[in-house]
Amino acid sequence: MRILLLGSGGREHALAWKMKQSPLCKELYIAPGNAGTAECGINIPLPDSDIDGIKEFIRTHNIDMLVVGPEQPLVMGIYNKLREDSSINKDIIIIAPSQEGAKLEGSKNFAKEFMKRHNIPTAAYQTFTADTLKDGYAFLQSLQPPYVLKADGLAAGKGVVICNELHEAQSALTSMLVEGQFGQASNQVVIEQFLTGIELSVFVLTDGQSYVILPSAKDYKRIGEGDTGLNTGGMGAVSPVPFADARFMDKVEQRIIIPTVKGIQKENINYKGFIFFGLMNVSGDPFVIEYNVRLGDPETEVILPRMTNDLVELFVAVGNQTLHAIEINIIDESAATVMLVSGGYPADYEKGKIIYNIETVENSLIFHAGTKRNDTDNLITAGGRVLAITSLGENIVSALTLSNQNAEKIKFENKHYRKDIGKDLMS
Ligand code: AMP
Ligand code: GLY
């Protein structure tokens, strides 16, 4: 098959690495990719949201399968735009939800209403606009701190504000609704009850009828050790999640996964792709914190190395709606990934630093995120998150030890990484 993969992060390198192992994968293109994906296929200098450019590439290169990594093209409706274009081969397999399905990530209010309609456990909430600002103040007053405010639309992972004081929450609401803090994304704001617990990520792949559950993972979102400081895309991840045992996962499946997939069917939403459940374990009961309509990054970098399935075969089954016949095979070993980031990230950081010693890494997988080659073919940094170092081990401790050793060996100016990934799960 001729496959086109969209995206440029560690997630996409892991997807490219895994798809490349399939005998079904004859040609692999990545748009725009990074220096790591260039080792698995051919990078195309096309932004992942350039839908016209992507269409043109699909036509001229007879692409049979399109796999979409990040949320932006999904929320822009890439699935519908391709399906509605008569010049695009109808037989192409597209691993993506429709634009309606992508609203589960693209609109927090849509996601909350969907959960309400299908009785899926989530935090109690109300939604406000600039016209109902005063009602928003009153609703905040009725809640106990901390206060959780969420911009409705995509805000590059920064749209959630958590405040300890009522007056802070009220002024955050004003900035979002009236001062356009997150632009159009904060024209509506969801205010919800704060849930206390421990977070995890659960992923399914669905063909719109049946689904398979992928290995569970936990990511570490904050920049600083002990989960402090600013939110990032994710500084590391582990899989499996020890507390996500069979009993807990059964609750997740019965209360959350099945009603979500059935809800998608009942609402006639076309959905052939990944569903990412951001969950909170509240005293043994799972609640949905958020839906995403794609794989997580860096969760993908620990999930795919634990799966022995042929990923392209899985995607073909999604296309043909024969996923019910497929079993997911997961190895017993644990996986851990540690993300090396540019100093200053997630605020301002410098790019273009030469990356040294990557060839000295042993027994770990390196998934590239923000990397590229310069004119003299040196590997250089090209983003905030630079490299994910994934290791497998008998348990999380041994996997992490290996990743941390290799994280230390790789050098670039102002390199930063968290040395406490997975520590909270070890006690
Ligand atoms: P989100 O972008 O929806 O994943 O939210 C970002 C982070 O805010 C989540 O990963 C949680 O740590 C936190 N968060 C979101 N909603 C809640 C909630 N209702 N209660 C507690 N923490 C939350
Ligand atoms: N690691 C969280 C995300 O991909 O959104």
Domain check: are 6 and 96 in the same one?
A: yes
On whether residue 15 sits in a domain, the answer given is yes
How many residues would you count in the chain? Answer: 427
Over the chain, what is the mean pLDDT?
96
Average pLDDT over residues 166-183: 92
- The rounded Å distance from CA 300 to ligand 2 centre is 9
Residue where a domain terminates, one of 133, 158, 192: 192
Measured from the alpha carbon of residue 192, the closest ligand is 1
Domain check: are 14 and 60 in the same one?
A: yes
Q: What are 345-380's pLDDT values in tens digits?
A: 999 999 999 999 999 999 999 999 999 999 999 999
- The rounded Å distance from CA 84 to ligand 1 centre is 36
Residue where a domain terminates, one of 135, 167, 192: 192
Nearest 5°: the CA angle 265, 211, 395 is 145
Residue where a domain terminates, one of 159, 192, 225: 192
Average pLDDT over residues 51-68: 97
On whether residue 10 sits in a domain, the answer given is yes
CATH number for the domain harbouring residue 158: 3.30.1490.20
Q: How far is CA 332 from CA 6, 176, 235, 309, 402, in A?
A: 30, 45, 24, 14, 17
Domain span at 156:
124-192
Q: Which residues line ligand 1 (CB under 6 A)?
A: 123, 148, 160, 192, 194-195, 199, 221, 278, 289-290
Domain check: are 96 and 9 in the same one?
A: yes
Position 158 scores a pLDDT of 80
Beta-bridge partners for 147: 163
Average pLDDT over residues 238-254: 97
Domain check: are 96 and 133 in the same one?
A: no
Residue 128 reports pLDDT greater than 70: yes
Domain check: are 85 and 136 in the same one?
A: no
- The rounded Å distance from CA 398 to ligand 2 centre is 24
Residue with tokens 């109808």: 90
On whether residue 185 sits in a domain, the answer given is yes
CATH number for the domain harbouring residue 42: 3.40.50.20
On whether residue 148 sits in a domain, the answer given is yes
Position 345 scores a pLDDT of 96
On whether residue 230 sits in a domain, the answer given is no
Cα–Cα distance between 2 and 29 in angstroms, integer? 8
On whether residue 42 sits in a domain, the answer given is yes
Report the domain count for the chain: 2
On whether residue 141 sits in a domain, the answer given is yes
- In this prediction, residue 186 has a pLDDT band, given cuts at 50, 70 and 90, of confident
Average pLDDT over residues 181-205: 94
Position 427 scores a pLDDT of 65
Nearest CA to ligand 1 atom 18: 194
On whether residue 132 sits in a domain, the answer given is yes
Domain check: are 12 and 84 in the same one?
A: yes
